[in-house]
Amino acid sequence: MSKWIIKAVVQKFISFLPFKHRINFLFQKYVTKGVQLSDEYFDDRLIHLGKHYSFYQAYRTKELEATKVLELGTGWYPTIPIGLFLAGFGKMYTIDISNLLEVEGVKEVIERYISYADKGLLAFPVQTGRLEALRQLAQTTENLSLEALLAKMNITYIVGDARRMNLEDNSIDFITSNNTFEHVYPQILEDILAEFKRVNSADGGVMSHFIDMSDHFAHFDKKITIYNFLKFSETQWNLIDNTIQPQNRWRINQYQKLYEKLEIPIVKEDHRAGRIEEVKALSLHEDFQKLPIEVVAVSHGYIVSKFSQN
């Protein structure tokens, strides 16, 4: 049996259990090795951080220290918020529907940033004062709660529904996410983006989202392509998919249409063209055969928006 099928079955089973996210964390940490703060994972996050930083710099209207940031999808490691703290951003909010963050994970990220900074491996400008603050924090984390530890870096962790946030209208200057949109069911994503539109500054607010449209089981099982999940019907995929790490299988045109529907402007897109030959070799389900092959093949991409008053 293929490795990806085994993982799919296990996660489907876990999705029906109490404390499913914690169980899935342990499964991925010790069995699939999918949630470790490896150099590969950290380097990948640094690439995204560098991209988001450059996009914000290109379209921002505020100084960094006055910028309020919102991140969707905190996950197990707050790599992006801590990186933005180092870069000099002001207040950071990071929200996740599941309570996955722990003090040990935050400490790991702090130590990794310090190590990378010392080696000159960070791909974005670091404020010296913030780096020194992080060094001091690394020496005094033992008795701090998760909330207190994050507060030292101007970070507020929110566990809740991003469709209904306790944030004021037009109060956020920069909204970002990584590898998150593809895990959100379409109607929920529409509501989240509508909420982003409400809280993002109407005069110069920026959004930058990175979307991974590949089959995430291919990250674990190298014997299948990143388009493998496109050969299944919606009914078949619903049987395979799970509520722990769902994959909506949307292609780039569907995200574009959603932005258009919500009247959210797109000022820049940066996509990977993908592997057209792999798409051609796959028996695509008819739902995806209707789309241009170039659209189906796009596997990863950034969508950047800037809001302005009419």
What are the domain boundaries of the chain?
Answer: 37-213+250-306
Sheet holding 206-212, edge to edge: 155-159, 91-96, 68-72, 174-178, 206-212, 300-306, 268-272
Q: Collect all residues with Cβ–Cβ distance below 8 Å to 203 and sequence separation of at least 6.
A: 61, 170, 307, 308, 309
pLDDT of residue 17: 83
Which CATH code fits 37-213+250-306?
A: 3.40.50.150
Q: Which class for 144: exposed (0-12), middle (13-18), buried (19 or more C-beta within 10 A)? A: middle
pLDDT of residue 28: 73
Q: Which long-range contacts (CB under 8 A, 24 or more apart) does 278-281 make?
A: 278/225, 278/226, 278/227, 279/227, 279/230, 281/225
Q: Collect all residues with Cβ–Cβ distance below 8 Å to 107 and sequence separation of at least 6.
A: 138, 141, 149
How confident is the prediction along the chain (310 residues), in pLDDT tens digits per residue?
788 989 989 898 888 888 787 787 777 766 766 667 888 999 999 999 999 999 999 999 889 999 999 999 999 999 999 999 999 999 999 999 999 899 999 999 999 999 999 999 998 899 999 999 999 999 886 788 999 999 999 999 999 999 999 999 999 999 999 999 999 999 999 999 999 999 998 788 999 999 999 999 999 899 999 999 999 999 999 999 999 899 999 999 999 999 999 999 999 999 998 999 999 999 999 999 999 999 999 999 999 999 875 5
Q: Collect all residues with Cβ–Cβ distance below 8 Å to 239 and sequence separation of at least 6.
A: none
**Distance (Å) of CA 37 to CA 100, 108, 187, 231:** 14, 8, 31, 32
211: three-class secondary structure by DSSP: strand
pLDDT of residue 16: 87
63: three-class secondary structure by DSSP: coil
Question: What are the two backbone dihedrals, phi and then psi, of residue 200, each rounded to the nearest 5 degrees?
Answer: -75, 140
pLDDT of residue 44: 94
Give the DSSP per-residue string, 215-264. Answer: -THHHH-TTS-TTGGGGS-HHHHHHH--SSS------HHHHHHHHHHTT-
